[in-house]
Amino acid sequence: MGKVGRRTLAGGAALVPAAGLIGAARAETPAESALDRIRRTKTLRIAALPGELPYFQKNLATGAWGGAAIEMADSIAKLLGAKLDYVEATYGTSVLDLQSDKVYLAFALNPTPERTLAVRFAHPMLIHPFGCLARPGLAPKTWADIDKPEIRIAFDIGSLHETVAKRFAPKAQHVGFPNRDQALLALQSGRADVDVLAALLGLSAVAKNPALGRWYLLGQPTVALPSSLAVQYEPDTRFVDVLNAWLDFNRGIGQLREWIIGGLELEGVKREQIPSELTF
């Protein structure tokens, strides 16, 4: 090999470390945070769940969205100088949509230990107590009132309703159904004595069908779980910090309560039907 060839190879070899350093520098450049993307694009993408009142309602004729979560999201978007962009989802897909960057924000998710491995949660939006609907002649006040071998408890399979029913009424007969509507139908048709439901779902069911009677808050113990906003996991925590401050402020001035009650009223729930123990 001639001198020119050797010099060329040497020069090329000398460039390799430099190129490697440039690549390493690029790799170490931090990704744009969710908050920065929202403010740059002036768009806040949220997971929107059709038919999930009191949080979400979509007008099929106009495509317009309403509900408590939409009011909250609009307030957050205005704070960030952004407009809302709706990505239709379900409770089951909301976490995946956050992970895949389809959305920046999801509402009304229970922060279970498993979910916290996948997404980050803000402060609770509300503390959601559990209770039940019951057949005529049965007016339970405590979990012990339905924790009896002769009581048939209906719930939707795989839900927190199933979890709390089996944990706090283990002596009862447990009857699972694929969804909430079928569990309600079992109660109405006499195939179940009790249908365990979280507060907002129970109140909504009664508003839609007053023949169900009333929703009972069960105590001793009071079983309640937080419902929260969720965001993507990322090193930059400014977005969740902003959401926490926003939640604390709007809870303090009573605005969160008004938004949630407004969503319940869309379903026909009256203010006097809302238990005082329901805090948000």
Residues 140 and 266 in one domain: no
Mean pLDDT calculated for residue range 19-37: 62
Q: Which residues is 233 bridged to in the sheet?
A: none
Q: Could you tell me the CATH number of the domain that includes residue 82? A: 3.40.190.10
Residues 117 and 133 in one domain: no
Residues 80 and 163 in one domain: no
Whether 148 and 172 have beta carbons less than 8 Å apart is answered as: yes
- The answer to whether residue 7 sits within a structural domain is no
High-pLDDT (> 90) share of the chain, %: 76
Where does residue 185 rank: exposed (0-12), middle (13-18), buried (19+ CB within 10 A)?
middle
- The answer to whether residue 166 sits within a structural domain is yes
The pLDDT tens digits of the residues spanning 148-168 come to 999 999 999 988 899 999 999
* pLDDT score of 30: 61
Residues 230 and 143 in one domain: no
Residues 160 and 209 in one domain: yes
The pLDDT tens digits of the residues spanning 206-233 come to 998 999 999 999 999 999 989 999 999 9
Residues 174 and 246 in one domain: no
- Provide the residue range defining the domain that includes 73: 34-127+226-273
- The answer to whether residue 105 sits within a structural domain is yes
Residues 123 and 170 in one domain: no
Residues 123 and 43 in one domain: yes
- The answer to whether residue 8 sits within a structural domain is no
- The answer to whether residue 17 sits within a structural domain is no
Residues 186 and 66 in one domain: no
Tell me which amino acid residue 232 is: Q
Band of residue 28 on the pLDDT scale cut at 50, 70, 90: very low
Mean pLDDT calculated for residue range 179-205: 94
Which residue bears the tokens 């952004």? Answer: 82
Nearest CA among 107, 91, 159 for reference residue 130: 159
Residues 211 and 74 in one domain: no
The pLDDT tens digits of the residues spanning 29-76 come to 468 999 999 999 999 999 999 988 899 999 999 999 999 999 999 999
